[in-house]
Chains A and B, each alone.
Chain A
Amino acid sequence: MGRPRQSYDGVVLTAPVSVPYERYSIETAHWWIARALREVLKRADLPLKDLDGFSVASFTLFPDTAVGLTQHLGLCPRWLDHIPMGGASGVVALRRAARAVQAGDADIVACVAGDTNQIDSFRQLLSSFSRFAMDASYPYGYGGPNANFALLTDRYMHEFGATRADFGRICVAQRANALRYPAAIMKKPLTLDDYLAARPIADPIALFDCVMPVAGAEAFMVMTEDEAIRRNLPFARIAGTIERHNAFADDPVQLRGGWAVDVDELYATAKCAPQDMDLVQTYDDYPVISMMQIEDLGFCDKGAAPDFLRDKDLTVTGDFPHNTNGGQLSAGQAGAAGGFIGLVEAIRQVTGQAGPTQVADAAKALVSGFGMINYDRGLCSSAAILEGAAP
């Protein structure tokens, strides 16, 4: 065990922004990121030239990075970050920006994730995703993440006796949540029968286990509590965060993620327990990954998530509100913004700004991230516990 983690006292999250997604876009990642950035600046009433910290996550910016964006968007930050961690990028952006603000390296950091989705851009993204994927996974059927997660799901079902219906209940509840969320892409009600009868994609994965690649952007701001109060912005405090990469490398199949390494420390720093959460936002590229997080983040034992969730209501009004705006499964996966969607929604929830998806009296939220299928498993995991500021 290393030295104790420092708290994030005095640093807060504000200005949650979701730019409504589109299935296909003729615009670029730069355009989507600019829209999100413009909106957070407007919320914070901050002129562009006064923004001194900028963090960006995106897959489709090539050949640019955060550096190119500074000139493209007219920024002059004294703190700049680019986070290539896909589904884990939201919490990782938060962690880094919070420390920068805490240490005085930046006063206000805008954290933005955005990607475009043009015809054929998903195929092109797959083909150059990582070296191991290029060498050792895409030549094998080129199923992309669908095939990778099909393998994990197959093994998970075999090890723990999970059924398709167990996964289906997660997807059905999220669709119900998405129907309340105006910006969700998937607007048709989904029943368990629809789920079970869906077109197979990569057995045992079928259509409604998969996210829809879309274009979109998400953003939030990190600043001192004093700054947020001065600007009259509702804010969330950061009770604890964790991050881990390439955990359990010797597990032959990924049935657990890096959260399991650090979960005790997460709750210890946050001085709370899983039962204290008013809502949970997991990274839901596939429902099996949500189950993995629910287990590894301490809500139940390994392999017990199917049982645990069977008598839970995962909708906004239920006893275990989960992915309250529909998550990626129903709102869409906007590239790296998929690593932000749960975090941005959680900030809205604990600050009472979630509108139609608002969970009653939401004060504490757990957000977790998962990203980057480099070869046979997701390498990055992250989680954060947020608390609404007492009024």
Chain B
Amino acid sequence: MNAYVAAGYVISLGTLGAYGFSLAIRLHRASKRGRREVSS
């Protein structure tokens, strides 16, 4: 595979994946905390 194409895909998908993952983690934490507070 062409190195430029590979670099483009790896960088884009890597960044989007990392960002999406961090969002999912943050959302998970926030909703866990929210539930705990509402139930207590």
Q: Do A and B come from one complex?
A: no
A residues contacting B by CB (< 8 A) are: none
